[in-house]
Copies of this chain bind each other. A is one copy, B any other.
């Protein structure tokens, strides 16, 4: 998480202020439940809420932590400075992990909510561009080599469908980490009633963790960060597509350049797809963070603390970076400059050769043997390839072809509509409309 690749709303989730605010809420709600159960006085619980609107003093808490060498105790000490003697009833029966783990999950849930909104914005942009270019024909490429026509809208629709899957995955990953544990040392509830956990969970919009062992099990987080890694891989896919389309020789689409932006006017072709290249790098980072999250799962016995340093890093790093990447990608898609005329120029690069398969099939359907049909197509194709002739013209002029196919029939084989006739079907599948 570096400022250059951070957006303030997501970064704020990981600020000390936010963290202490969440800690406060966990503790205060727990006090309510404890008071309800008669474990602590009702007045104590009420007194705690007096700190509801306090801006906690991070520097002061840090100062205390340097002394007591324990972050939660430092916070509680500082809380007592606001709440007064009733503060001694706070945190009763709880263990630090109850606060830390529940807080971390709340932060991840909030981060997921931002990421879900990011995906919604990206999906909207993809959908808009998909419908805008539903019928913008361009060449489809397999292996980087021209294959058969598609439309630019289909490319956007594919990206939409993939990101829509990612949205579903993320919603599921959010559900995975939306749990609360207030179960005390080694998770047995020996010192705290399970109803406290239920109350806090309900108040904070979480599920209770069915069984914790002081810590919330880290398979949940492994799944969460792996899901972010998969989303990042999809970001890379779209970024790679745009980088390819912007290549000098292809130039079917281009990242938007603001009029003021450099991009040498003396070399007007020198507009680099720097945003999508940047996204490619960011995707590598988000992907990398999944690994330590998976290595965090096998903690020793009821818990060790090895996961903590990892999460202090990947918690912010993965969510902030992916948030930035999704927002940047949405901007790229939104403003992407599309060049339909270049698409058509590229598609026609081989003067009709991409239709050779259809001509071949038509000949066989007219009764020409497969071998003969192939020979006929090939000899005309070679004139195109080697001498730069036009395929349709050559076919029409070939008496053996003409014997089987009328000029109209030949022309029909060059109809791009043949390739786009099911675009509506696909759009309906993806968007529910066409």
Contact = CB atoms under 8 A, between A and B. Distances in A.
A282 interface: yes
Integer count of this chain's copies in the complex: 4
A150 B185 CA distance: 10
A299 B140 CA distance: 13
Contacts of A285: 292, 309-310, 313-314
Interface in A390-428: 418-423, 425-426
Given A219-B162, A309-B5, A430-B210, A69 B419 contact: no
Contacts of A220: 165
B272 A305 contact: yes
Nearest to A237: B298
B190 A419 contact: yes
Interface residues of A, number: 136
A184 B140 CA distance: 12
A145 B2 contact: no
Interface string A207-231: 0101101100101101100110110
Nearest to A302: B140
Given A154-B188, A290-B290, 13 more contacts: A141-B301, A142-B214, A143-B273, A143-B274, A143-B277, A150-B187, A157-B211, A162-B217, A188-B426, A226-B227, A241-B301, A267-B354, A285-B292
30 contacts: A69-B261, A70-B262, A141-B301, A142-B214, A143-B243, A143-B272, A143-B274, A143-B277, A143-B305, A144-B246, A144-B272, A149-B186, A150-B213, A172-B172, A188-B423, A188-B426, A190-B419, A210-B429, A211-B430, A219-B237, A233-B298, A267-B353, A267-B356, A272-B305, A274-B305, A281-B307, A287-B294, A287-B295, A288-B289, A288-B291
Interface of A: 2, 4-5, 68-70, 139-150, 154, 157-158, 161-162, 165-166, 169, 172, 176, 185-190, 194, 208, 210-211, 213-214, 217, 219-220, 222-223, 226-227, 229-230, 233-234, 236-237, 239-241, 243-244, 246-250, 261-262, 264-274, 277-278, 280-285, 287-292, 294-310, 312-314, 317, 321, 346, 349-350, 353-354, 356-357, 360, 374, 377-378, 381-382, 385, 418-423, 425-426, 429-430
